[in-house]
Structure formats: structure tokens, C-alpha cells
Structure 1
Amino acid sequence: MPLPFLTADRAFDELDDDHADGAALPHETQDRWRRPYRPGPWRVGAAAVLLLLASYLLFAAMIVAFAGALPGAGVCVAAATAVIAGALRMLRVGAWVSELGVRRIGFFSTTTLPWARVSVVRTVQQPVKWLGLPRTVQGQAVVAVPNAGDPPRPLITDHNADFLGRPEAFDMAADAVEGWVAECRN
């Protein structure tokens, strides 16, 4: 039985090979923000659970609406909308790069650092948050050091939801982010 979703991934890889020389695709804009790594299983799993919860809330809203309590159905729809928005925001969290600079997207805030203000991006050993919780453990982080003497800003860590238990994926993402710095600074 053919599995078309497996061949679709190969088609994207072949498309990347066709444009390996760095030429932009005709439909791409140069200031497009890209995540240099794929979201990890912890992040995708948590978003899937939230979307499952949202589907239950929407089903509850339908039942409440058929029962005749429209204000209650509205509350359920509003809660489902908030859960869906939270799941989508959770999937966007991480480090994004473009020709303009590096962007660190958090759940509640976004910080953009232009390449002109970045002195160096490097991988360091330091205490990092475990899955974004207040508990810290010893780990690795890719940090962007601003020119103005501000403290280094961690972009990604090996204990966040994208790389927990996947050290080789963290190494590849760290190399990709550092490669973007080398490419865009020249």
C-alpha cells in the first residue's frame, strides 16, 4: 500500500537539492523567517493534546447549543478558541532566522535581534531550563551575544521541548543557526 505522505517529504528534499546553490525560489521573499530545525516531539505532542482538548470543547459547545443554552455554548467556543490559539503559538515557539536577523519567539513575547547587533552566536555549557519550567539543569544552549554588552540571549537549549532526548538534533540545529550567522554577516 503506497504511503503518499512519505513520498511528499522526499519531494521537499529533492526540491531543496535542486536549489542547493542558494538561489531563492521565485515565490520566496528574502526576508522570510525560517526555523532552522523541525519542532520536536514534546512540542508537537503537547500541541496535539491541546487540539484534542479543543475538539472536546467544540463538541461540548454543540451539545450545549442543541440543549438551548446559547451563552454556555459561547463560553465553550471561546475556551476552544483560546486553546487552539495556545496550541498554535506553542508550535511557533523557538529560534527563527532570516536575512534580517535572529528572532526568539517565546509563548508570550518575541524578541528580534538584527545581525548588525549580534557580535557572536555560539554554543555554551550553562544551566538551562528543563522544558521551559523554572527547574534548571546543566546543559547546552546556543546564545546570541549582542554588541552593546548586554547579557547573552539563549536561542535554543538541549533541554527544551524541541531537543529533549535528541542530542544529535540539537547539534544539527546549533550548526544551522551558527551557519546562518556566518552567511548573513558576510
Structure 2
Amino acid sequence: MPLPFLTADRAFDASAEDIALPFDDHDSWRRPYRPGPWRVAAAATLLLLASFVLIAGMIIAFAGALPGASLCVGLALVMIFCALRLLRMGAWVSRHGVRRVGFFVTTTVSWNRAATVRTVQQPVRWLGFPRTVQGQALIVVRKGGEAVPPLLTDCNADFLGRGEAFDRAADTIEAWGDEYRRG
């Protein structure tokens, strides 16, 4: 079963290195980078724990305690949902705008309401924890000066220790912004 939220686009293929927007369908939402190893490891750990909870639920069900088994199955479903949501987090682009998908909140800014998309040096959160370090962030500034929380940082779960990947993703999103803010 294909998992579209895990696939990166063809922008990273060797044949499409010089093309900024190599997609046939610009209307669908796409993440212009692969999920990072920290994000994938956290989701895999959650899925592993969910499998253990499901096995525990099966053992409890065979023992005859159905309320306990249903509690285990419910907990495992919540863990699976959290793992999938964790994999879905990040910046997504389309012809309509840019979307920042967080764990609880999703923010969408249409290209005609975006004044600029740029990379800046600023304090950023390290792996989403409250601790901040100096790093790079890709931000969208709306017309009127209102800033959206950073779309990407070089210290988040997708790009920690992967500076080149951050630069490619930031350049790709900036190219989408330049293309569609003009039009």
C-alpha cells in the first residue's frame, strides 16, 4: 500500500535537479522533502509500542476480561493515530499556498496573501523541545506583516544534522512561492 505522506517528490531525482517545480499536478498538496530520521524513528517506536499493546489486549481478551482488552485496543489505536500524525507533520505546498501541518494545528497561507517566503537566522526550537538554539528557519510573512510560525527549521525532526536537505527543501518552497506569488 503506497503511503503518499512518506514519499518525496521527483525534485530529488538526478534527472530533475535543475527544475524547481517538476510536478504534473500542482493542485495537490505535496511535501517537498522526505521525513527525517528522527521523525521516522519516533513514529516507528510508537508503532512498535502499539503492537505490544495490541498483543497485551489479545492476551487480556483470551483471559476473559473484555473491558481491559477494549482499553488496550483503544490505547493502541490512539498510538497508531499519533504515529501517523507525527509522520504527516511538516510543510506542504501546492498551487493554492503553503501549509504548515503541526501535531494539533494546521495553518494554511494562500500565495496571494503571502508577502514573502524567506530563510532567516533566528533562535529555533531543538527537536520541538522548549530549548532554543541559533539556527535557520524558513518563514512566511503574510501581507500586513503577520508572521506564521516557522515552516521548517534546521533543528527540527526532519533536518537535524541534514543541512543540505534543509537548504534543498527551503529553496524548493521559496521557488513555489516565487512562482505562484507572481501569478
TM-score by length of 2: 0.87
Unpaired segments ≥5 residues, structure 2: 1-6
Describe the SS at the equivalent of 1:88: helix
Which letter maps to 1:88? L
Contact 1:51 1:87 in 2 (8 A): yes
Question: SS of the counterpart of 1:35?
Answer: coil
Residues 131-182 of structure 1, C-alpha deviation per residue, up to 9 Å, x if partnerless?
0111100000000011022135311000000000111111111111111111
Secondary structure of the residue aligned to 1:161 is coil
1:72-111 alignment, distance < 5 Å:
72-111=68-107
Q: SS where residue 140 of structure 1 aligns?
A: strand
Q: How does 1:123-138 map to 2 (within 5 A)?
A: 123-138=119-134
In structure 2, what residue type is equivalent to 1:153?
A: P
State how far apart, in whole Å, the 2-side matches of 1:148 and 1:171 are.
27
Q: Residue in 1 aligned with 2:62? A: 66
SS in 2 for 1:154: coil
May I ask how many residue pairs the two structures share in their alignment? 169
In the alignment, the residues of structure 1 paired with residue 164 and residue 50 of structure 2 have an alpha-carbon distance, to the nearest angstrom, of: 33
SS at 1:172's partner residue? helix
**Cα shift readout 1:105-156 (whole Å, capped 9, x = no counterpart):** 0001000000011011000000000001111000000000110221353110
Contact 1:119 1:147 in 2 (8 A): yes
Amino acid at match of 2:34: R
Alignment partner for residue 34 of structure 1, among 30, 33, 55? 30
Query: What is the TM-score with the length of structure 1 in the denominator?
Result: 0.85
Identity percentage over the alignment?
62
Quote the residue 1:165 is aligned against.
Answer: 161
Per the alignment, residue 4 of structure 2 pairs with none
Mapped partners of 1:178, 1:97: distance in 2: 10
Contact 1:94 1:156 in 2 (8 A): yes
**Conserved? CA contact 1:145–1:153, under 8 Å:** no
Compute the RMSD of aligned alpha carbons.
1.9
